[in-house]
Structures are given as C-alpha cells and as structure tokens.
Copies of this chain bind each other. A is one copy, B any other.
Amino acid sequence: MAAGSPGTQGGESLLFLTDEQLRKGIEAMFFAYRAFTADPDRILENYEYGRAHHRAIHFINRQPGLTVNTLLTMLGVTKQSLNRVLRTLVEDGLVESRVGRRDKRERHLHLTEKGATLERELSDAQRARMRAAYRAAGPAAVAGFRQVLEAMMDPDIRRHYQSMKDHSV
C-alpha cells in the first residue's frame, strides 16, 4: 500500500507531496547527512586520513575481495582519485591488494588487521549515532526511512545496494 491511487482521497493524503514538505525533506537530508559524517570525520583527523579513505575502507570491509573497478563504481569517482587514497592505505598497511587468481589483471582488495581496526573505530561511531536515531524513531519509522532513501537512489546503484550483505528478515 505504498503509493496507492492518488485522486481517490481529497488531497489530504498527498500533503506529503507539497512543495513545503519536499523542501523540508531536502533540508532534513542536508542537516542529517552533515551530522552523519561528523563523527567519523573527527576520528579521521587523528590519523592522517579523510572522508575518502573512510568510504574506501567501508566498502572494502563490506565486500572483502572486491576489485578496484567494483569499488570505483560504488564510490562514483575517477580511478585517479581513488588511486591516491588507495595507495596510501596500502602503503600504510591498512589494505592489501591481491592479484586475481582467475584474471591476473584484477586486484582484489582486503582489509588487514590494522585496517579492520580502524574500520571498527569509524563504524562504531557512525553506528552509534544511527542506532540512537533508530531507537528514537522506532522500527516503523526506520522501515520508511530505508524505503525513501532506496527510492531516491539511481537505479544502477540501487541494484548494488540491494545486493549487498543484509542479514535481516
């Protein structure tokens, strides 16, 4: 019973589509996203890394052994931009780059122990905020939150997102 058939109800049921409601949603995204990145950003300052390193570490953790190309697609940046980040992570011993067994052109990325430790520190902070928000809003709100975000994604990315590990339900 997501969208349903509009027009049936006088318009009250479409109040969530008014200009003002949409603008509030836009602002909510902006403010919430800023808070969402603030905690890991603070931690990253202590090391010599930035948000770009965090993102790389996040996805390598989520999908150990993923190739550089796959990571590129998920991050949506150029290989030159990713390479700068990836190089320092490999040099610093946080990420291991293994030559593919079937296709030796590919590099498969894995977190080392050290990388996994930083990943944990970062995601602990980020999950703490997410958990507090989830707890405050309740399960039904969380389901709606996820539905709207998913609907907002570009279709190609949505497929990637949906195919990623999810032990729920």
Contacts and interface: CB of A to CB of B under 8 A. Distances in A.
Nearest to A20: B167
Interface string A31-63: 111111010000000000000000100100010
Given A31-B149, A152-B130, A166-B24, A140 B139 contact: no
In which size bucket is the chain A interface? 35 or more
Q: What's the number of copies of this chain in the assembled complex?
A: 2
A165 B20 contact: yes
A114 interface: no
Nearest to A55: B30
Interface of A: 1-4, 13, 15-36, 38, 55, 58, 62, 76, 123, 126-127, 129-154, 157-158, 160-161, 164-169
